[in-house]
Amino acid sequence: MSHKAGFVSIIGKPNAGKSTLMNALVGEKLSIITPKAQTTRHRILGIVNEENYQIVFSDTPGIIKPRYGLQDSMMSSVKGALTDADLILFVTDINETHDENDVLDKIIDTTIPMIVLINKIDNATQEEVETKMAYWQEKLNPKYIYAISALHLYNLDGIMETVLEQLPEHAPFYDKEDLTDRTQRFFVSEIIREKIFNNYQKEIPYSTEVVITSFKEEEKITRISAEIIVERDSQKNILIGKGGAMLKKVGTEARKDIEKFLDQKVFLETFVKVVPDWRSKKNYLKSFGYEN
């Protein structure tokens, strides 16, 4: 029996809906989603397995101009996703504007086949959709353009068929049981990060990293300890909140989602730690799992 397999990279500007799309295509919540730009910091694989194919999607950080070490690492993960893909899904919010030096520079010269996905059409008129389709046809001359809503699962079936059409005959790259390349610990830290992105404003989410320091699976409960790392004492105070109220809220929200994710009861404890300027320090970035 023939078998298709290949790598499909989901690329675009911050907040275009890349993570929402990957979760929808994979049918699992692997990537965290928030209304804030730069939520996704790593390349995350989502694998779709069927008897005669394996599609390996890569969700990536939104393309930006890097300003500090963490963002350098985020952009090199995008670069990796661009060079080793069989197919690029370029996701663009229908309301996005494209200026110089942004995502277009990165993808316009690629020789990898591309599908343009105009997302969030639930908020657009038919006329706007047609205008944008013509715009992207002219700009990128992609193999296909789809107008979709990743959030409302609109027009996604056609994408899967088209993606499959584009993939080569190949043996599976990963075990056919695998859903992702990341560990449970990674997803647990991401769930906590999602709650921080949703509960704090301004620079707090961007200055925060989450490290799982202990993960013990017992028969009826999983006990997890997490360190929430910030850059300054003032951020630590905001994170903890009056009488610990904010941190407690984050912990409760995270625990509920982690319980759903692990399908088990969870005890979660969190500690806040200050590491000055960690986002610019190579040794810390490395220890937090950010490549180069």
Least distance CB 15 / K ion (angstroms): 5
122 is in an annotated binding site: yes
State the Cα–Cα distance between residues 228 and 24, nearest whole angstrom: 29
State the Cα–Cα distance between residues 92 and 117, nearest whole angstrom: 6
> Which tokens is 60 given?
């990536």
State the Cα–Cα distance between residues 250 and 290, nearest whole angstrom: 24
142 is in an annotated binding site: no
Whichever of 5 and 32 has its CB closer to ligand GDP, that residue is: 32
Whichever of 150 and 250 has its CB closer to ligand GDP, that residue is: 150
13-21, 50-58, 126-134, 275-283 -> range binding Mg ion (CB under 5 A) = 13-21
**Which residue type occupies 72?**
D
19 is in an annotated binding site: yes
State the Cα–Cα distance between residues 250 and 262, nearest whole angstrom: 18
- Is 180 a binder of Mg ion (CB under 5 A)? no
66-74, 107-115, 144-152, 219-227 -> range binding ligand GDP (CB under 6 A) = 144-152
Least distance CB 59 / K ion (angstroms): 11
13-21, 43-51, 162-170, 245-253 -> range binding ligand GDP (CB under 6 A) = 13-21
Q: Return all residues near 6 (Cβ < 8 A) that are at least 6 apart.
A: 55, 56, 86, 87, 166, 167, 168, 170
Closest CA to 72 of 60, 82, 64, 83: 64
Least distance CB 267 / Mg ion (angstroms): 29
- For the chain, the farthest-separated pair of C-alpha atoms sits apart, in whole angstroms, at 63
**Which residue type occupies 230?**
V
23 is in an annotated binding site: no
199 is in an annotated binding site: no
Q: Which does 73 bind (CB under 5 to 8 A by kind): ligand GDP, Mg ion, K ion, none?
A: none
Residues of the shown chain interacting with K ion in the complex, contacts defined by CB under 5 A:
15, 39
Binding residues for GTP: 12-19, 59-63, 119-122
